[in-house]
């Protein structure tokens, strides 16, 4: 059962309820072993952080930033801040100096917590160029401080300040005076079209989100959540806090590249992910199957045929399959699907929420066929994550982003934009009254910028309003839908669709270089570097043929007619991707203008 209380009181309330039960599991930096932390210990550390924050002069509703990859210390710091009515601003661990500096200045941050060496090296120069920043507190003891740094302290040194129990009275006063409309967090959006905006999230928004989500997601205190997405991502943040409010164990995975290893060791029952995670898993399974013997290939093909039949014709419609089909699925589950689950550490799956990008139909069917409850969903930072999601145990339409959450209102504007209203919707952007007025209308509807439609209480996305392209022939193209359909190919790593104001659709493609190299070697194609490989006519023809197969279900005007293979991937370092790995389309179009024009000659 969900515990609905002010987040400042959650650790203490749950400690009284669960005592020595494990709250958080983290990998010990020295031994490399998973280490459990009880609710009582978690609550004590949070109190320690809270007293330390008071001792350094942290004011109520002061903005405190956390610049780190996922670590147990993030939870300690977040809830320590809530305990003294301070506001938390999480930064993505991959932030640049410019991005971090912008947020620190915009929010007038005085205290910055950093995770490891990369974050410290990014943050240290900001001490001298951002007027408000006074101190850096370092989580990892192995971080080497700059020789000229006489201000920063390590987290254990910071915690020593919190041993002063005379500060308990002030801590309790602040904790008990917390209001639901206080600012809890400010999450800066990824900024695909310009500077980030600070999204104000109140305690009341979180509380409402927990209450409504717990009605449709069957999470219990026996569940084990693996943190895979960054805690600065609203989906991971809201889901992990929901899990804590229910008493589920939070397993902190520090390195996202180690997630499969962590899954195999922890065997999580719940994990948030983006579609690309499942696409990579699907590609890996197909590659292993295709490299196997003919018998294995036939078994997997038949398993997918039976699994698709089960998912599309029965499970998604809430119907019970006939006995013969159930028997067939049981056999192929033992021969194929159970092996996939075991290999990935998903032997006891409960729910796996997935959102953040367009979901391919093939991927959704594959995950469900594997016996994993893939919870498709839709939401934004501004809506405290979930607007709609699949409700476990209820019928669902493949291709939808689920049923609208209880307590959330959704309507579609005349031009097809999704509008949202509810207690989990932001009251304002931080210090941005003009943008707030442009985004939240006089009737309280938040304009998402996403295009979609409702079918009953299920929501379907078409694309971002600003991303909808109109060809010179007057046809509208939804690029993300096409990209989701094509990126499942094993030779395609990244893809950006081009169509706006052009007479047909083309695409910039970042190939999976390792697989492309294997293909070249197998077919005797010589090349000196990736650039030569990407310009090779035989390689381009091969990928175009595969695209032709994948896009057969698209209308003629939606189909990709020409492609350009790029020798370098889109990256955050080149400012082509946001921290949430979304492509900055406008910048990519400008950077590759010559290549784009060449496709239309």
Spell out the domain ranges in the chain: 7-178+214-264, 275-465, 468-598
Q: How far apart are CA 377 and CA 343, in angstroms?
A: 26
Which two structure tokens, joined as six digits, stand for 467? Answer: 């991303």
Q: Can you name the CATH fold of 7-178+214-264?
A: Rossmann fold (3.40.50)
Which band of pLDDT confidence, cut at 50, 70 and 90, is reported for residue 190? low
Q: Mean pLDDT across the chain, nearest whole number?
A: 93
Does residue 229 surpass a pLDDT of 70? Answer: yes
Mean of pLDDT values over 306-319: 96
- Whether the Cβ atoms of residue 167 and residue 54 lie closer than 8 Å to each other: yes
Strands 560-565 and 505-511, by their bridges, are parallel
How would you classify residue 93: left for phi > 0, otherwise alpha for psi between -120 and 50, otherwise beta? alpha
Please check whether the two domains, 7-178+214-264 and 468-598, share a CATH topology: no
Mean of pLDDT values over 174-190: 94
Mean of pLDDT values over 76-97: 96
Which band of pLDDT confidence, cut at 50, 70 and 90, is reported for residue 287? confident
- Whether the Cβ atoms of residue 471 and residue 477 lie closer than 8 Å to each other: yes
- Whether the Cβ atoms of residue 135 and residue 111 lie closer than 8 Å to each other: yes
- DSSP states of 424-490 as a string? TS-S-BTT-HHHHHHHB-TTS-EEEEEEEEEETTEEEEEEEGGG-EE-TTS-EE-HHHHHHHHTTST
Q: Quote the pLDDT of residue 223.
A: 97
Our CA angle for 546, 551, 553, nearest 5°, is 140
CA dihedral angle for residue 454, residue 459, residue 464, residue 465, rounded to 10 degrees: 20
- pLDDT tens digit string along 391-419? 988 999 999 999 999 999 999 999 889 99
Does residue 120 surpass a pLDDT of 70? Answer: yes
Q: Quote the pLDDT of residue 33.
A: 92
Mean of pLDDT values over 311-323: 95
Q: Quote the pLDDT of residue 96.
A: 86
Q: How far apart are CA 458 and CA 316, in angstroms?
A: 13
Least trusted range by pLDDT, from 110-119, 121-130, 137-146, 565-574? 565-574
- Domain 275-465 in CATH 3.20.20.70? The answer is no
Mean of pLDDT values over 78-90: 98
Mean of pLDDT values over 104-112: 97
Q: How many CB atoms lie within 10 A of CB 545?
A: 9
Which two structure tokens, joined as six digits, stand for 424? Answer: 């989990």
Which band of pLDDT confidence, cut at 50, 70 and 90, is reported for residue 194? low
- pLDDT tens digit string along 479-535? 888 998 899 899 999 999 998 878 899 999 999 999 999 999 999 999 999 999 999
Instruction: Write down the pTM of the prediction.
Output: 0.85
Q: Quote the pLDDT of residue 290.
A: 86
Does residue 193 surpass a pLDDT of 50? Answer: no
- Percent of the chain exceeding pLDDT 90 equals 80
- DSSP states of 342-377 as a string? HHHT-SS--BEEE-SSPPPHHHHHHHHHTT--EEEE
Which two structure tokens, joined as six digits, stand for 406? Answer: 């209880």
**Domain 468-598: homologous superfamily in CATH:** ANL, C-terminal domain (3.30.300.30)
- What is the chain's Cα-based Rg? 25
Q: Quote the pLDDT of residue 582.
A: 80
Q: Quote the pLDDT of residue 466.
A: 67
Does residue 420 surpass a pLDDT of 80? Answer: yes
- Whether the Cβ atoms of residue 120 and residue 145 lie closer than 8 Å to each other: yes
């Amino acid at each position: 059962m969900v515990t609905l209380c002010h987040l400042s009181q959650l650790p203490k309330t749950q400690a009284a309820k669960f005592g020595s039960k494990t709250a958080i599991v983290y990998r010990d930096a020295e031994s490399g072993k998973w280490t459990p932390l009880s609710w009582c210990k978690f609550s004590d550390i949070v109190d320690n952080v809270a007293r330390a924050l008071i001792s350094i002069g942290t004011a109520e509703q002061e903005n405190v930033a956390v610049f780190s990859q996922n670590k147990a210390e993030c939870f300690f710091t977040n809830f320590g801040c809530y305990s003294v009515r301070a506001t938390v601003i999480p930064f993505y661990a991959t932030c640049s100096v410019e991005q971090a500096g912008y947020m620190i200045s915009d929010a007038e941050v005085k205290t910055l917590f950093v995770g490891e060496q990369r974050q410290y090296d990014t943050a240290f120069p900001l001490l001298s160029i951002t007027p408000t920043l006074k101190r850096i507190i370092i989580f990892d003891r192995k971080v080497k401080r700059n020789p000229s740094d006489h201000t920063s302290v390590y987290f254990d040194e910071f915690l020593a300040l919190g041993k002063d129990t005379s500060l308990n009275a002030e801590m309790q006063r602040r904790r008990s005076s917390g209001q639901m409309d206080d600012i809890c967090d400010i999450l800066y959006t990824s900024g695909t079209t310009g500077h980030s905006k600070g999204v104000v999230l109140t305690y009341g928004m979180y509380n409402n989100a927990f209450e409504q989500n717990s009605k449709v997601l069957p999470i219990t205190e026996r569940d084990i959540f693996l943190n895979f997405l960054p805690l600065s991502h609203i989906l991971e943040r809201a889901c992990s806090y929901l899990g804590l409010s229910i008493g589920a164990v939070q397993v902190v995975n520090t390195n996202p590249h180690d997630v499969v290893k962590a899954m195999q060791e922890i065997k999580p029952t719940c994990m948030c992910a983006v579609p690309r995670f499942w696409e990579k898993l699907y590609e890996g399974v197909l590659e292993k199957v295709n490299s196997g013997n003919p018998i294995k290939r036939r078994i997997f093909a038949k398993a997918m045929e039976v699994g698709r039949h089960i998912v599309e014709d029965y499970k998604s419609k809430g119907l019970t399959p006939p006995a013969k089909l159930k028997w067939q699925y049981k056999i192929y589950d033992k021969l194929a699907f159970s092996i996939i689950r075991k290999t990935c550490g998903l032997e006891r799956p409960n729910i796996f929420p997935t959102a953040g990008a367009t979901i391919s139909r093939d991927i959704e069917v594959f995950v469900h066929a594997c016996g994993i409850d893939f919870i498709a969903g839709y939401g934004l930072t501004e809506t405290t994550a979930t607007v709609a999601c699949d409700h476990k145990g209820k019928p669902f339409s493949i291709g939808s982003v689920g049923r609208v959450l209880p307590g959330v209102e959704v309507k579609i504007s005349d031009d097809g934009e999704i509008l949202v209203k509810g207690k989990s919707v932001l009251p304002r952007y931080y210090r941005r009254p003009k943008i707030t007025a442009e985004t939240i209308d006089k009737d309280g509807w938040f304009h998402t910028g996403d295009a979609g439609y409702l079918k009953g209480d299920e929501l379907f996305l078409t694309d971002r309003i600003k991303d909808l392209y109109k060809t010179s022939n007057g046809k509208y193209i939804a690029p993300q839908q096409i990209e989701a359909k094509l990126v499942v190919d094993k030779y395609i790593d990244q893809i950006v669709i081009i169509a706006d104001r052009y007479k047909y659709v083309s695409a910039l493609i970042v190939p999976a270089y390792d697989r492309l190299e294997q293909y070249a070697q197998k077919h005797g194609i010589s090349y000196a570097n990736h650039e030569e490989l990407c310009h090779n006519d035989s390689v381009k023809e091969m990928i175009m043929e595969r695209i032709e197969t994948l896009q057969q279900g698209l209308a003629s005007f939606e189909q990709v007619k020409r492609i350009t293979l790029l020798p370098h991937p889109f990256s955050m370092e080149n400012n082509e991707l946001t921290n949430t790995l979304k492509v900055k389309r406008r910048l990519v179009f400008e950077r590759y203008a010559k290549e784009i024009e060449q496709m239309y000659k």
